[in-house]
Structures are given as structure tokens and as C-alpha cells.
Amino acid sequence: MNVSDYLLEGKPESSPALLTLSAEHTYGELRDTVQSVGNYLVSSGGKSGDRVLLLAESGLFWVAAYLGILRVGMVCVPLPTNIAASDLEYILAATTPQFIFADPRATKLIPESQRFIPVISRIPTHPDYKNIGAVPVAENDLAALMFTSGSTGRPRGVMITHRNIVANTESIIEYLSLTAHDRVMAVLPFHYCFGTSLLHTHLAVGGSVVVDSRFMYPEAVLQRMRQTACTGFAGVPSHYQILLRKSNLARMDFPDLRYVQQAGGQLAPTFIQELSKALPGKQIFVMYGQTEATARLSYLPPEDLDAKLGSVGKGMRGVKLTVVGENGQKVAPQQTGEIVAEGANIARGYWNDPEETARCFRDGKLYTGDLATVDNDGFIYIVDRAKDFLKCGGKRVSCRHLENVLLEFDELIEAAVVGVPDEVLGEAALAYVVPRNPKAQPTADQLETHCRRRLPLSFVPKRYVLLPSLPKNSSGKVLKPLLKTQALALA
């Protein structure tokens, strides 16, 4: 089914679909604007399968462009508005888009060499455009190319189909028990697969999405959650770390809030425990996913949060997760292997990249690159990315494990560990940390004492670098490669 129709058909015209800082947009308005975008594209020569770049902030323009592109069988290529010029040039060359939707401030990002591509910076409404219905699609027809950072440094375009989106959306709706009464606070950008999934799931059930990109002012976001009666909130670890240690979250009441969901990396167990105390009676969903899986692969039921602390749960409906060893066989409980995923939500592969596609997508399965263990009940515990391990004094250790230990120090908000060369150990840990209170920063000796009590000597970081914040991408994920480069210069 065409995703645009799947999300918009049958919804009451007057029901709110999207609440931005400036306006409330109903399903009727959204349908009209999506229709207008589709009419424009086809009337201007667009054909099924053509790529269309989308370079805009989350809001009505973004949603109308995205669903309008999908409605007429074209392929959306959503990108962040702070994308590096070199990455944008590479993606433009790789996807050869026929059109670019860019809000006015983003148009300046388009290189002069590509200015021949038609640029649309407002929702087209010309009355002479041919009125086009939704284009029928096959289940493997592309809906979007979701670009993510690649192992070679070049962005990789994940090929997401209409079938992928519908399958993943229905599974998420089921375990979150979403209905038309749900309203989610979206601080995640829509160009990021987690943010897009909020849009998909809530439009599919006839609910609404509150868009607020002011997370640098967390109190303002929390107040808006109360004012707009949000029933849900979604974030990556950095969002919760800031809310728990730099806001009044624990002292506020949210009478309408039913659940919060966390994905986009592991939230340290100490923060999960703090979140449970800060939001008593609310459901906390810890989830795991990848762009290559459309958005989501597994979740931990809220009732298992305490008993299975640190787990990402089991595969959701329609997804089979297996942890396999180097021999390709399922590992025994407590042994480490790679997570392999199967399901209708698994992408077709990487755009024009047969080598990486063959490496990560084999026999209809996604080899995630995430290492994990499984307990006796089948619950999965991610150890780390395969590439994010250190070898200190001949022993392997996960950077994630070291970061979790650091975050048990109550005066820290964030921590990121990278490896640096060491004459004695071969490789040593260097820790970047963000203090809760910049005016009362912990000393290196205090952090050293904390780590020595919890870690073998060879795993204790050789240096602690205090920062006001960790560098992140537009989705809130920490930029480890940048920190690694800086660490090598410090070593």
C-alpha cells in the first residue's frame, strides 16, 4: 500500500495531526497540502522512482513534501539542514534528484553546480496542476533513501520500501498500544528514522504529533508537553541525560503522559533507574533499532524493566532476532555474538553500493554489527558496536561499559570513551565527560578514584577531558569519530 494513503486515509478532517510552535494543522489540511505537492511533481514531469531531495526543518512543509513525494511513487531523500557541504555534494551526485524541497534558509546549502535542479521552498498550490491520485506501489518499491554515516566515511543511502514502513509502523503501534487519543512530543528531527517513525505511527492511528525543536531549552519543551497534553515522549540517550540532570523533570507533574520511549543508543542503567523514579507510574519503553531496519527491531516491555535492566528486550512482532557467533550458529546464553535480524522491515540494501549491501544484507537477513549476549529467558543485552571495543593490556573492553561506569558518578551528565595509543597497554581509554554543574566540576582525581573502585587497572581511563557538552549530530547522537580525532591529538 502507498504509505501516503496508509497514513492519511479515513482520518477525521478536523482532527489535529500536527502541532507546530506557530499553528495547529488538521488531517484535512494535511491531506490537501500532500495532494498539492503530488500534483505539482507530476505536472512538472516527475515520474515514479525519481528521487526528490528534502532539506528542511520538521514542520508542515516537511511532512507535506515527504508524503506528497511518496504519494506519487517518487523516492524521498530527507537530509538534515546542517549537513556538511561535502556530504551534500556526494548525495546529490549519488541520487541525481529531479527536484529539491528546501525551506528558505536551507536553499543556500545547495551548491552552485546543482542549481539547475528545480527548488521548491513553499508548498505549491497552483490551481492548474493536474489532480493526481495516489500511485499504486509494489511492496518492494522504494519510498525513501535514508542516509546514514558509512564505515568508509561516506554516507550510505539505506533503501526503505513502502512495505518496510507499513510493517514497522504496525509493529510499533501494537507494542506501544497507540490510538487516536495519543499525542507525542517530537524533539527528534523527522529526517532521522526514529523521528520519522513517530510521524508514521501517530498519523497511522489518527493521533497527533507536537513538533518542538527547542531542546536546548528543556524546560520550555517540558512546559509545552503539559500545555499540549502529550501522552508520549521519545528521545535518544542524550535527551534523557539532560532531562534527568539538567531540568525539573522529576519535580513536574504530567497528568496526560502515558509512556516514554528511548532508542538511538543505550541509555546507561543508572539513568533508566533515575527515569523510573522521576516518572512514577509511567510506562518506559527501552528499544533497539537501526536505519537499516526502517526504525525498530526490539523493545523491552515496561513490566520487565527492573528484572531485565540493561536489556533491549526481544524482537517485536514480525521481527526475528538471533545472536550468532563467528561460525554463524546461535550462541549459548551469556556468550557474545552479532545480532542478525529478519523481517518485513529490513531494508533492500544500500543505494548503489553492492559491496556494503553484500556485507550487511545476506539471504534476506540484516547483519547489524552490534555485539550482544542473550540470557536464559531470551532477552538480548547489547555489549557494543563491533568497532567500539578497546584492547587494553591484551584484554578487550567495550567503550559502552566504561561509559556506563563513568555515568554512575552522579555529577556527570554525559560520557564518551575512545581509545588512544599507549606504550604500556598498547591501547588505553580516554574519557570525555560533561559535568552536571560547570561551576563545581569534578576533578580528575575524583573520577580516577571512582573508576578504580569499579574497573581493573588496565581499563581505568588514562585521561579525563571535561567538556561543556559532547559534539552531536542533528539526531542527538554523539560524534565518536570527531572525539577520536581530538583524542589522538591529545595523546
The mean pLDDT values, 10 residues at a time, for the chain of 491 residues are 95 98 97 95 95 97 98 97 92 97 93 92 83 88 90 83 98 98 97 97 98 95 98 96 94 97 93 97 97 97 97 98 95 96 98 96 95 97 85 85 93 93 87 92 94 92 94 87 87 67
Distance CA 467, CA 465 (A): 6
For residue 408, the tally of other CB atoms under 10 A from its CB is: 16
- Whole-angstrom distance, CA of residue 288 vs CA of residue 347: 16
* Helices and strands, counts by H and E, the chain: 13, 25
User: In degrees rounded to 5, what are phi and psi of residue 412?
Assistant: -110, 145
What's residue 447's pLDDT? Answer: 95
Looking at residue 448, its amino acid is E
Phi/psi of residue 239, nearest 5 degrees: -65, -45
What's the pLDDT score for residue 481? 87
Rounded (5°) CA angle 267-268-272: 75
Beta strands in 16-131 (DSSP E): 16-19, 24-26, 51-55, 75-79, 99-102, 119-120
Of 100, 59, 60, which Cα lies nearest the Cα of 77? 100
DSSP 477: -
DSSP one-letter code for 15: S
d(CA 482, CA 475): 16
Distance CA 142, CA 49 (A): 7
Question: Which run of H or of E encompasses 356?
Answer: helix 354-360
Q: Please give the helix or strand (H or E) that residue 89 lies within, else none.
A: helix 85-95
The answer to whether the CB of 386 falls within 8 A of the CB of 396 is: no
* pLDDT at residue number 140: 92
- The set of residues, in sequence order, having a beta carbon less than 8 Å from that of 9 and lying 6+ positions away, is none
**Residues 6 or more apart whose Cβ sits within 8 Å of residue 1:** 137, 162, 166
Name the residue among 5, 15, 14, 6 with its Cα closest to residue 207: 15
CATH of 3-137, one of 3.40.50.980, 3.40.1410.10, 1.20.1250.20, 3.10.20.90: 3.40.50.980
Cβ atoms within 10 Å of 34's Cβ, excluding its own: 26
Q: Are 262 and 477 in contact (CB under 8 A)?
A: no
Q: How far is CA 454 from the centre of its chain?
A: 31
Dihedral sign for Cα 389, 390, 395, 398, please.
negative
pTM (predicted TM-score): 0.90
The C-alpha atoms of residue 344 and residue 328 are separated, in whole angstroms, by 22
What are the residue boundaries of the structural domains of the chain, listed by start? 3-137, 166-385, 389-490
pLDDT score, position 491: 67
Instruction: Look at the alpha carbons of 459, 462, 467, 472 in this order and tell me if their dihedral is positive or negative.
Output: negative
Q: Which long-range contacts (C-beta less than 8 Å, at least 24 apart) are formed by 393-401?
A: 393/424, 393/425, 393/426, 393/458, 394/426, 395/456, 395/458, 395/459, 397/429, 397/459, 399/429, 400/266
Gap between the Cα atoms of 416 and 429, Å rounded? 10
Q: Give residue 150's pLDDT.
A: 59
User: What's domain 166-385's superfamily in CATH?
Assistant: ANL, N-terminal domain (3.40.50.12780)
What top-level class would CATH report for the domain 389-490?
alpha beta
Q: How far is CA 424 from CA 94, 391, 420, 428, in A?
A: 45, 12, 12, 9
For residue 171 the three cell numbers come to 509493529
Fold match, 3-137 / 389-490? no
User: What span, in angstroms and rounded, lies between the C-alpha atoms of 25 and 284?
Assistant: 29
Q: Note whether 267 and 237 are within 8 A (CB).
A: yes
Q: Is the dihedral of CA 80, 288, 250, 270 positive or negative?
A: negative
pLDDT value of position 172: 98
Q: Which three cell numbers stand for residue 249?
A: 523533570
Residues 6+ apart with CB under 8 A from 355: none
Kindly compute the dihedral angle of the four CA atoms of residues 282, 207, 290, 59, in this order, to the nearest 10 degrees. Answer: -120
